Amino acid sequence: MTIAPTEPYKPLPRSLVALVVVIAAIECLLSAADAGLIADPTLRARLLGTGAFWTQLLHGAEPVFAAQPYTMFLSHALLHGGFTHMTMNMVMLLALGRFVSDRYGSGTILPLFLVGAVAGGAAYGLLATGGAPMVGASGADFAFIGVWTVWDLRRHRAARVPTSPVWRRVAVLALLNVVMYWWLGGMLAWQAHLGGFLAGCAFGAALEARASAQALRARAEARRARRGGAE
């Protein structure tokens, strides 16, 4: 019996680990404050006041500090509503971040997270009607889902097989958002999910275009090398 060789284990990219550690550390600190383990039980409320995404700040409300209407587009993705909320988002980020890093390089992790967070905040600011603050990395997570979806569509088309399984997964994801929105009594930032997903699709299309161009150049160089070796 022969055993197929296995690929060597590749550690998680440092940028992904650092991002998850920072977000987890923030939530652990806030959870400790909530539990009375540190001296300031108001810490979560104060951080939400300065770091959450507040749509009112886009419509003339007075910010806590001058740059808050701009920093909230990123800071909201570093805060969460609780340990469970944070854990769910970080598990998704680790899984999808591994895929993105393996295919496109670890240098894409932080830019994609930033694009997803900002796009999620922008969509929330445009579409949300209530005044509740929005926190969580799910908008950024959905940007990673968008990149994965674009790659999967391209993979199906390259193999000349139907793309319907990909579209079914997108439909199921949309349905899950509807169900969760109803189950949570409207406390789901589907707008951020949508914005992050669309931004991720655009980001993924750019990454795939770059990958295709690199593959074309590599094949052209290989052909030139073969011709040169034959002379």
User: What is the full per-residue pLDDT of the chain (231 aa) written as tens digits?
Assistant: 444 444 566 788 999 999 999 999 999 999 999 998 987 889 999 999 999 999 999 998 999 999 999 999 999 999 999 999 999 999 999 999 999 999 999 999 999 999 999 999 999 999 998 888 999 999 999 999 999 999 999 999 989 999 999 999 999 999 999 999 989 888 899 999 999 999 999 999 999 998 888 777 777 776 776 776 555
State how many domains the chain has: 1
DSSP classification of residue 214: H
At 219 the pLDDT is 72
Spatial distance between the Cα atoms of 219 and 88, rounded to a whole number of angstroms: 41
Domain limits at 121? Answer: 14-225
Domain containing 195 — which CATH number? 1.20.1540
* Residue 7, domain member (yes or no): no
Spatial distance between the Cα atoms of 194 and 183, rounded to a whole number of angstroms: 18
Q: In b/e form, how buried is each residue of 161-191, taking b as 16+ CB within 10 angstroms?
A: eeeeebeeebeeeeeebeeeeeeeeeebbbb
* Residue 159, domain member (yes or no): yes
* Residue 130, domain member (yes or no): yes
Spatial distance between the Cα atoms of 28 and 24, rounded to a whole number of angstroms: 6
At 8 the pLDDT is 61
13 Cα distance to chain centroid: 15
Burial class, 145, CB count within 10 angstroms (exposed 0-12 / middle 13-18 / buried 19+)? buried
Q: Nearest CA to 24 among 73, 71, 85, 76?
A: 85
Listed in sequence order, the residues at least 6 apart from 127 whose beta carbon sits closer than 8 Å to its beta carbon are 191, 194
* Residue 98, domain member (yes or no): yes
Burial class, 140, CB count within 10 angstroms (exposed 0-12 / middle 13-18 / buried 19+)? buried
Listed in sequence order, the residues at least 6 apart from 167 whose beta carbon sits closer than 8 Å to its beta carbon are none
The DSSP element (H or E) to which 119 belongs, if any, is helix 109-127
* Residue 6, domain member (yes or no): no
Q: Which residue has the tokens 């680790």?
A: 94
At 4 the pLDDT is 44
- The one-letter code for the residue type at 97 is G
* Residue 8, domain member (yes or no): no
At 229 the pLDDT is 58
Q: In b/e form, how buried is each residue of 10-29, taking b as 16+ CB within 10 angstroms?
A: eeebebbeebbeebeebbeb
Q: Are the CB atoms for 32 and 19 separated by under 8 Å?
A: no
Q: Which residue has the tokens 């674009």?
A: 150
* Residue 3, domain member (yes or no): no
* Residue 1, domain member (yes or no): no
Q: Are the CB atoms for 141 and 94 separated by under 8 Å?
A: no
Q: Write down the pTM of the prediction.
A: 0.89
